[in-house]
Structure 1
Amino acid sequence: MGPSVTSRLLAETDPATTGIVPDGWHDFFVAQAGATAALAGLVFVAVSINLERILSFPRLPHRAAVTVALFAGILLQAPLALMGDVTLVAFGALVLGIAGGIEAFVVISGLRMGRDRANGRKELQLAAMYQLALLPQLVGGVLLVAGSGAGLYWVAAGYAVSTLVALTNAWVLLVEILR
């Protein structure tokens, strides 16, 4: 005997067993992947053009690496959401893993750089900016793992903030460094 109507309906609406891309999210993740790939390419060009100058400042290589990492997080996550058989829970776990890995990279590489007593306030502001970029993705991942579709909105917010932070860093690496 086949599954009952009730169990089929539950399976169709249970976020743990349905696909990730409901109602319009497909276009969002496609746009994110494409736009982020283009922006990441521009950052590589900016770093290539100004590499010698970036390396002459002790903190700018870290800033460039964080910028690439923020874009990489989106580039790794967005295509995973487009896989037809991934569930919200599975996508949440992937988001947590990727954003958590980037978070660890940002914190560890920041600690390895050491403190800059002359620019302590600016250094603290940058660290806060990086945490603000990754926090919504982590919250979104937790919500998705818990089975809440609201996590998609947190992930989207995380993409927006990560993009803004990465663009700010890209501006410094491309324009401000030449002043």
Structure 2
Amino acid sequence: MSSRLIAGLMLGTSVVLSACAASDPDPPTATFAPNPDTVFVQSMVAYHDHNLIILTLADAQADDAEVRTLAAQTAGLQRLQRTTMVTLLAGWPQPTTAPTSADDDHLTILEKLRGAAFDRALVATMISHNDDAIRFARQALTAPLSPQTHGIAVSVDAGLSAENAALRLLLSRLDTQKARP
């Protein structure tokens, strides 16, 4: 696995976990309106849940060793991040789950692919999902958030942006391999 990809994954994980692990959480205030802290953290849990489903496909369907390793490492990191965020939500008087969103066509497509085609599609899907989470984090940062949730949103933006830079390099390598006769 390339050192840039590992660095991107490690940066993404460390900033998200450091933001989640603050010792004095600022729980959202109980209101009837959706709380921006709760909405954001619940959405990040849902993001991780969906990605974990997709990443499990790599064991049986990926051809490229770096893609298999990346999927396994990312899944492990996302499980840890998810657990940390669920623990944070459990400390607030809020549900730890978010309403499920519409189905993602990526999963249906990935389930049908194998080998090099799966490798490219998985990495492209990871980039797309990260881009969605980055946009959501940036949107959340426009709302009044607790300092802890603000830190998580900043960390999601920075960490997933770094991860995507590394994923784009990997996708470029996979596309170059595809182009070779």
Task: State if a TM-score over 0.5 links the two structures.
Answer: no
Whichever structure has more helix as a proportion of its residues is 1
Indicate the structure (1 or 2) with the bigger Cα radius of gyration: 1
Superposition TM-score, scaled by structure 1 size: 0.40
Which of structures 1 and 2 has the larger relative contact order (alpha carbons within 8 angstroms, sep 6+)? 2
Give TM-score scaled by structure 2 length.
Answer: 0.40
